[in-house]
A and B are shown apart, each in its own frame.
Chain A
Amino acid sequence: MAAPRSCALWGYYGRGWSRVMRGCRLPGLRSSWPGSPLGARLLSQEKRATETHFGFETVSEEEKGGKVYQVFESVAKKYDVMNDMMSLGIHRVWKDLLLWRMHPFPGTQLLDVAGGTGDIAFRFLNYIQAQHRRKQKRQLRTQQNLSWEEIAQKYQNEEDSLNGSHVVVCDINKEMLKIGRKKACAQGYKTGLAWVLGDAEELPFDDDKFDVYTIAFGIRNVTHIDRALQEAHRVLKPGGRFLCLEFSQVTNPLVSRLYDLYSFQVIPVMGEVIAKDWKSYQYLVESIRQFPAQEEFKEMIEDAGFQKVTYESLTSGIVAIHSGFKL
């Protein structure tokens, strides 16, 4: 598995993959089915009988979901440790940056898809609380003749500090959700947080419900990215924002060479040593290479109906934050 070979594969599969994706658009499927959910599933499965990629492997589209599920089921327990090891902790900075770009206001309703371990959700709650505390401090400083009681009261009311902000974490993987909720209990997050087992391609949420939709390191693993994007558009309120943090394409050739070497030579070994799971981490690096580059993904987001789509490459393009609005 040498680096140059991987580059060649990237070029080839990158193009092939996008053709597959474009070919399987199914507008109106959801509204046209006759009433039985079973009928709909059969129909959609028949139409879905195209091929897609699982890493560099070619698999049928029905197979991909199950395989991805197995990967994340297997890595769930070591997910956080492995993320820190593989990215040398940088994934935390990327996620923080996503929150800064979001800059949620008190009262923001967030849907975090594929966020089972709660990384984005906890950051969101922290962000809102920190913002509220800063504001409160400023207010208290400007007010005069406050009694100690009044001050203490302001500090004690934890629920108020969210101002109605709420985050719903939706993940297709039970194991990842379990880890996330355990973390939430351990870290004392009680309010403003809910967990739902759901599919990004068939979100169990009503139209026009959320101010922000985030998906961090998740959309790469979805079988039909176009469908996930359409669902994101549906559940967002008009004026709502789509934010995606995902691995992207490195442009600098030197960085690219090093990155390939690291990805293909080091990460699977790390996976084997730490998580005793070579295959899952092999999939991880391969799936990163399959994912469309910044511009192409931007077009896909626009195709789903989003406006003012922009992106920002971070760390030489190893990851990118894409943003779009439902207007």
Chain B
Amino acid sequence: MLSAGRLGAVLRGTRAPSSSTVARRCLRVSASRPAADESERPAEPPHAFDRALLEFLVCPLSKKPLRYEASTNELINDELGIAYPVIDGIPNMIPQAARMMAHQNKKQEDTEQH
């Protein structure tokens, strides 16, 4: 899954291959990552959370909808006060991996020893 910006660039590139957008894209790439050459596929492309998933995702414990918090990159269940991390674009929906927001995290860690 590509980040929104990258996806946009790719789409633009395929639909209207105008030389100016391509040039601009190359410029941007070389400006942000001087080491990377022009090869289209870097080894580890950055992955962003796909917000379309929110339509399906719920908290595995309460089965209630979740809110995506972009600043911390977490999916939050406000009712229970737990946050599920999004790691490299993949939401981690295992309750044991979740973070308790209001209370301390210690109790939870005790329960997940296996």
User: Which residues of A approach B to under 8 Å, CB–CB?
Assistant: 30, 35-38, 40-42, 45, 62-63, 65-66, 156, 168, 172, 174, 177, 181, 184-186, 190, 193-199, 202-207, 209
Contacts and interface: CB of A to CB of B under 8 A. Distances in A.
Interface string B40-68: 01000101001011001111111101000
Interface residues of B, number: 40
Contacts of B2: 190
A172 B50 contact: no
Interface of B: 1-2, 7, 10, 14-15, 41, 45, 47, 50, 52-53, 56-63, 65, 80, 82, 84, 87, 89-98, 100, 107-108, 111, 114
A194 B114 contact: no
Contacts, number: 91
A198 B114 contact: no
A181 B60 contact: no
A71 B82 CA distance: 29
B41 A185 contact: yes
Nearest to B89: A195
Contacts of B14: 156
A193 B1 contact: yes
Which secondary structure characterizes the binding site on chain B? Answer: mixed
Contact of A181 (B84, B90, B97, B114): B90
30 contacts: A35-B80, A36-B80, A37-B80, A37-B82, A37-B95, A40-B61, A41-B95, A41-B96, A45-B111, A62-B114, A168-B53, A174-B92, A181-B1, A181-B47, A181-B90, A185-B45, A190-B1, A190-B7, A190-B10, A193-B1, A194-B50, A194-B52, A196-B93, A197-B87, A199-B60, A202-B60, A204-B57, A204-B93, A205-B56, A206-B63
A327 to B, nearest CB: 22
Given A194-B50, A202-B60, A202-B95, 12 more contacts: A30-B63, A35-B80, A37-B61, A40-B61, A63-B114, A181-B47, A181-B90, A194-B53, A196-B53, A197-B90, A204-B84, A206-B58
Contact of A199 (B1, B80, B94, B100): B94
A181 B57 CA distance: 19
Nearest to B77: A37
Contact of A205 (B1, B50, B58): B58
A30 B65 CA distance: 16
Contact of B15 (A156, A174, A203): A156
A204 B1 contact: no
A203 B80 CA distance: 17
A153 B9 CA distance: 19
Contact of B114 (A65, A172, A204, A209): A65
Contacts of A181: 1, 47, 90
B95 to A, nearest CB: 6
The 5 lowest CB-CB distance pairs between A and B, nearest first, are: A204-B93, A202-B60, A204-B60, A198-B93, A37-B61
Contacts of B61: 37, 40, 202
Contacts of B56: 168, 205-206, 209
Nearest to B11: A159
B95 A196 contact: no
Contacts of A193: 1
B111 A41 contact: yes
B58 to A, nearest CB: 5
A126 B96 CA distance: 35
B81 to A, nearest CB: 9
B110 to A, nearest CB: 9
A206 B55 CA distance: 8
B90 A196 contact: yes
A181 B96 CA distance: 23
